[in-house]
């Protein structure tokens, strides 16, 4: 088949599976198979246990689903995403310093020791999630890394407040934005480097920190050693890694990775367009996390004997509004019940949940989960999940099908 016809064939495939879904009785059956994706291998990298590798230049490493059976993601299982391939293999603390310059009275260069000793340390647990996490679920398929649910993790972050550091450099009153970049470089000089812009109000938040510790240890090199910007409640494109420089701006200046990339259609509250459609003229930046939950265990296709006790567990989170309930279904979405919520590790953390049940009937059994927060916000079902051309912000109710034998 020539490539064009093959593409048409695949699109017909999508439509056909969609039609089956609409005719189906329960919305648990809506995770119809996509044409199967290339199975990424499990590979170990420095400071990492095996992770699902989507690319090695730059490293794109995904956390396997079962790791989300705990609320804290260990550093050696934490996902990795870089835009550009020329990444320092080591950092020499004798020469590394973070520069703060631009619209400030006194530009400063801070060593890691300065950041640790001159500023009040702040510590909290927060979820870091890529805007493209779970992208492989979109139908039709969108461009970008075909992540499963593992482009996310939750850690205890410790660092200095960005606000304190900006005030230390005596930021001027008319400042409007900051531009932050990392130490890595694109392979081609024509490719824009990874620079992100934050509004000054966001930069002056009490809980935005320059983190130098992750789960009580140094940050792994692949996760941005020596320091990472942590913007709790926001998607990870804002969390610049391996910081090099912060430039304070007194007026807006276009920055590729904020003004062109990481945008949602500004069409409706969901940022959705017609499936398969184009990015409209009007867009808005990816910011606050959307309420979401993921099943860690059991694993897809796991087998259990009829009558066995089955423990279902996973995590839920939102942008910091307080997860109140995680509903679970063990019959593909026909009936729902509340799961047990584990200890609260803070408003930005993963909330672990679990639910035990006895499998009664032989055959496939579809497990689902759906979180609800204090504002009453909940997750859409997969069939109601709006589509956007970049495949961002997937947050439909998760489902896993197991076999009862």
Ligand X SMILES: Nc1nc2c(c(=O)[nH]1)N[C@H]1C(S)=C(S)[C@@H](COP(=O)(O)O)O[C@H]1N2
The contact set with Mo ion (CB under 5 A) reads 81, 130, 236
Task: Tell me the number of residues near ligand X by CB under 6 A.
Answer: 19
Is residue 224 close enough to count as binding ligand X by CB under 6 A?
yes
Is residue 68 close enough to count as binding ligand X by CB under 6 A?
no
Q: In what order do the strands lie in the sheet with 42-43?
A: 42-43, 51-56, 59-62, 80-81
Select the span of 42-50, 236-244, 290-298, 330-338 touching ligand X (CB under 6 A).
Answer: 236-244
Given ligand X, Mo ion, none, residue 161, with its beta carbon under 5 to 8 Å by kind, binds none
Nearer Cβ to ligand X, position 55 or 335? Answer: 55
Select the span of 28-36, 237-245, 310-318, 373-381 touching ligand X (CB under 6 A).
Answer: 237-245
Is residue 242 close enough to count as binding ligand X by CB under 6 A?
yes
CB of 270 to ligand X, least distance (A): 21
Is residue 239 close enough to count as binding ligand X by CB under 6 A?
yes
Residues 152-211 that bind ligand X (CB under 6 A): 182, 184, 194
Instruction: State how far the alpha carbon of 385 is from the alpha carbons of 19, 135, 261, 326, 342, in Å.
Output: 16, 12, 21, 18, 28
Contacts of 233 (CB under 8 A, 6+ apart): 126, 288, 289, 319, 320, 348
- Residue 207, token pair as written in the block: 């809980």
Given Mo ion, ligand X, none, residue 242, with its beta carbon under 5 to 8 Å by kind, binds ligand X
Given ligand X, Mo ion, none, residue 122, with its beta carbon under 5 to 8 Å by kind, binds none
Beta bridge partners of 62: 52
Closest CA to 340 of 317, 360, 312, 320: 312
Given Mo ion, ligand X, none, residue 194, with its beta carbon under 5 to 8 Å by kind, binds ligand X
CB of 206 to Mo ion, least distance (A): 25
Closest CA to 112 of 222, 257, 219, 202: 219
Q: 377: exposed, middle or buried (C-beta count within 10 Å: 0-12, 13-18, 19+)?
A: middle
Is there a contact between 380 and 277 (Cβ–Cβ < 8 Å)?
A: no
What is the C-alpha separation between 175 and 228, in angstroms, rounded? 22
**242 sits in which H/E element:** none
Q: Which residue is nearest to Mo ion (CB)?
A: 130
Given Mo ion, ligand X, none, residue 65, with its beta carbon under 5 to 8 Å by kind, binds none
Residue that is written with structure tokens 């996509």 in the block: 34
Q: Which residue is nearest to ligand X (CB)?
A: 182
At CA 210, angle to CA 206 and CA 213, rounded to 5?
A: 115
Residue of 135, 241, 292, 370 that binds ligand X (CB under 6 A): 241
Mark residues 265-304: x for contact with ligand X by CB under 6 A, - for none. Answer: ----------------------------------------
Residue of 31, 207, 237, 318 that binds ligand X (CB under 6 A): 237
DSSP letter at 299 equals P
Got the DSSP string for 273-290? Answer: BSTT-PPPS-EEE--BPP
Nearer Cβ to ligand X, position 130 or 264? Answer: 130
Given Mo ion, ligand X, none, residue 324, with its beta carbon under 5 to 8 Å by kind, binds none
Closest CA to 190 of 82, 84, 102: 84
Nearer Cβ to Mo ion, position 130 or 296? Answer: 130
Is residue 226 close enough to count as binding ligand X by CB under 6 A?
no
Is there a contact between 225 and 91 (Cβ–Cβ < 8 Å)?
A: yes
Residues binding ligand X (CB under 6 A): 78-83, 128, 130, 182, 184, 194, 223-224, 236-237, 239-242
């Amino acid at each position: 088949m020539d490539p064009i016809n093959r593409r048409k064939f695949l699109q017909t495939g999508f439509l056909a599976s969609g039609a089956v879904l609409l005719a189906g009785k329960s919305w648990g059956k809506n995770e119809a198979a996509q044409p199967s994706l290339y199975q990424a291998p499990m590979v170990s990298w420095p400071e990492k246990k095996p992770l699902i590798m989507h690319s090695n230049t730059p490293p794109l490493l995904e956390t396997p689903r079962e790791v989300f059976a705990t609320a804290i993601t260990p550093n050696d299982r934490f996902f990795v995403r870089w835009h550009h391939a020329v990444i320092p293999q080591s950092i020499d603390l004798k020469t590394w310093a973070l520069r703060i310059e631009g619209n400030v009275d006194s530009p400063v260069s801070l060593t890691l020791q300065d950041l640790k000793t001159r500023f009040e340390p702040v510590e909290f647990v927060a979820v870091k999630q890529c805007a493209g996490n779970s992208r492989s679920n979109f139908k039709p398929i969108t461009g970008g890394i075909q992540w499963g649910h593992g482009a996310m993790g939750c850690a205890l972050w410790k660092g200095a407040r960005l606000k304190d550091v900006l005030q230390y450099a005596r930021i001027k009153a008319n400042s409007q934005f900051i531009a932050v970049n990392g130490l890595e470089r694109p392979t081609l000089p024509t490719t824009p480097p990874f620079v992100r812009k934050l509004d000054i109000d966001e930069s002056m938040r009490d809980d935005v920190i320059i983190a130098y510790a992750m789960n009580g240890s140094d940050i792994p090199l692949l996760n941005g050693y020596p320091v990472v910007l942590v913007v709790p409640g926001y998607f990870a494109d804002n969390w610049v890694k391996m910081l090099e420089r912060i430039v304070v701006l007194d007026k807006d200046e276009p920055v590729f990775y904020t003004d062109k990339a990481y945008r949602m259609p500004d069409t409706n509250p969901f940022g959705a367009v017609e499936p398969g459609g184009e990015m409209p003229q009007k867009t808005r930046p990816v910011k606050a996390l959307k309420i979401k939950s993921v099943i860690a265990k059991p694993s897809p296709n796991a087998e259990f004997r009829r009558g066995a006790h089955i423990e279902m567990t996973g995590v839920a989170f939102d942008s910091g509004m307080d997860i109140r309930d995680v509903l679970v279904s063990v019959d593909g979405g026909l009936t729902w019940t509340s799961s047990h919520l584990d200890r609260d590790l803070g408003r930005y953390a993963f909330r672990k949940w679990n639910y035990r049940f006895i499998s009664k009937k032989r055959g496939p059994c579809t497990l689902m989960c759906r979180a609800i927060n204090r504002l009453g916000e909940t997750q859409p079902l997969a069939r109601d999940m709006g589509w956007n051309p970049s495949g961002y912000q997937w947050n439909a109710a998760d489902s896993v099908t197991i076999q009862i034998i």
